Copies of this chain bind each other. A is one copy, B any other.
Amino acid sequence: MNATTQSASFDLSAYMSDVGRRARAAGRLMSCAESAAKNAALLGMADELERASAQLIKENRKDLDAGIANGLDAALLDRLELNAARIASMAEGLRQIAALPDPVGEISDLKYRPSGIQVGRMRVPLGVIGIIYESRPNVTADAAGLCLKSGNAAILRGGSEAIHSNQAIAACIHAGLKNAGLPEDAVQVIETIDREAVSLLVRMKEFVDVIVPRGGKGLIERVSRDALVPVIKHLHGVCHVYIDDKADDAKALAVAYNAKCQRYGTCNTMETLLVAESVAARILPPLAQLYREAGVELRGCARTRAFLPDSLPATEADWDEEYLAPILSIRVVDGLDQAMEHIHAHGSNHTDAIITEDLTHARRFLREIDSSSVMVNASTRFADGFEYGLGAEIGISTDKLHARGPVGLEGLTSLKYVVLGDGHVRK
């Protein structure tokens, strides 16, 4: 089937069921694949991507041309583009995944029980993982690599605007799998641009064990609403830095500046700064000066504007906003309790930090803030799989069940119990 010349009689439902059935069969084989084969496949895919670089760029050109014709904006076209450097970076990502330890099959906590049986837990793949993502074609290689290494089969559904690029990348992935003696169905890229394919994918409970949507809030909300399969989701990041009355000034300035300005468009970027009233007069003016130099628009509460008269007034809506832009809302609070109240009321359970030298305040913040990452004297920008030592991440979960925070290989596995006896029976 060719994505661009689909016949009217194409049966989408039958096609998706077939994809699911093949993924389930491949998943069973992948769950028992040896590390050496999986690593050979990853390294083979990396080589193949580099070898096919010219072809990838040619296929990507078709997507770019269609994107221009369809009026995609410059930012989207930039995300869509493949060039030699980006292809090398995809290959490097796969080689890094090959170098990670294999999580599958590890048995932990194997202990003798009073009955005489030994009970432990074995780390095992989840089975079949569906990944739904938007324009960046590099996700195709990243997601395939992580699912493969963790012993899962993957069904990948990229954006329709990247269909030629994704299929060219898929060819390299399949070559890598085949050369390593692993089933090509272990990574399937959905070949139709029909949006209904996503609705079917997220409802195939018999074939798919978990869905990981990667993209904007709209995509994730739509997937979560339709899904019958469990979703590892990350809705949005309204991250806070709270500068405590016991903060060190230099650390406060460094972290609050970095958390906002190191990158504006990421989910772990600070969106609201909270400052204890007793230090606001000292901290806010020099900090505002740094933000102004970086071109960050400041929106403050009434108390903030007393210290920073040229900031704009923040509205109630600002406290819930994920700007993903050089905009920062600032609120002056009475102290730790009011800061934590604010985070509970307006945060998104993603990442929140306190700047303090006070041990009791730090302990309370770590315990009481219910976010996937809670930090003391460190920039929220550290909330990332690579920074945490996971080696790679397939996304950041703001859910509470299963995986929370950056999701790496471990988040694509679960634990089953293993019991060893010698003819033991229950009394």
Q: How far is the CA of A155 from the CA of B373 in the complex (A)?
A: 27
- Report whether A372 and B416 are in contact in the complex, using a CB–CB cutoff of 8 Å: yes
Across the two chains, which residue of chain B brings its CB closest to A411?
B401
A368 at the interface (CB under 8 A from B): yes
CB-defined contacts of A353 to chain B, threshold 8 Å? 419
Q: How far is the CA of A282 from the CA of B371 in the complex (A)?
A: 60
Name which of A53-61, A116-124, A138-146, A285-293 contacts chain B: A116-124
CB-defined contacts of A115 to chain B, threshold 8 Å? 382, 387
A374 at the interface (CB under 8 A from B): yes
- Report whether A419 and B374 are in contact in the complex, using a CB–CB cutoff of 8 Å: yes
Given contacts A119-B389, A373-B417, contact A423 B113 (CB under 8 A): no
Interface string of A120-157 (1 = CB under 8 A from B): 00101011000000000000000000000000000000
Interface string of A241-275 (1 = CB under 8 A from B): 00000001011001101110010000000000000
**Which A371-393 residues sit within 8 Å CB-CB of chain B?**
371-379, 381-383, 387-389
- Report whether A254 and B113 are in contact in the complex, using a CB–CB cutoff of 8 Å: no
A209 at the interface (CB under 8 A from B): yes
A85 at the interface (CB under 8 A from B): no
Across the two chains, which residue of chain B brings its CB closest to A225?
B228
- Report whether A28 and B367 are in contact in the complex, using a CB–CB cutoff of 8 Å: no
Across the two chains, which residue of chain B brings its CB closest to A375?
B419
A418 at the interface (CB under 8 A from B): yes
CB-defined contacts of A370 to chain B, threshold 8 Å? 28, 31, 124, 127, 416
A366 at the interface (CB under 8 A from B): yes
Q: Which of B105, B122, B355, B376 sits near A419, CB closer than 8 Å?
A: B376
- Report whether B210 and A421 are in contact in the complex, using a CB–CB cutoff of 8 Å: no
CB-defined contacts of A219 to chain B, threshold 8 Å? none
A101 to chain B, nearest CB (A): 14
A395 at the interface (CB under 8 A from B): no
A residues near B (Cβ < 8 Å) are: 28, 31-32, 105, 111, 113, 115, 117, 119, 122, 124, 126-127, 209-210, 230, 248, 250-251, 254-255, 257-259, 262, 344, 353, 355, 366-368, 370-379, 381-383, 387-389, 399-402, 404-406, 414-426
Since A117-B387, A355-B423, A382-B426 are in contact, a sample of 18 more A-B pairs with Cβ atoms closer than 8 Å, ordered by chain A residue number, is A32-B367, A115-B382, A117-B378, A122-B374, A126-B400, A127-B370, A254-B423, A255-B421, A373-B416, A373-B418, A374-B417, A377-B424, A378-B421, A379-B424, A382-B419, A401-B401, A402-B414, A404-B414
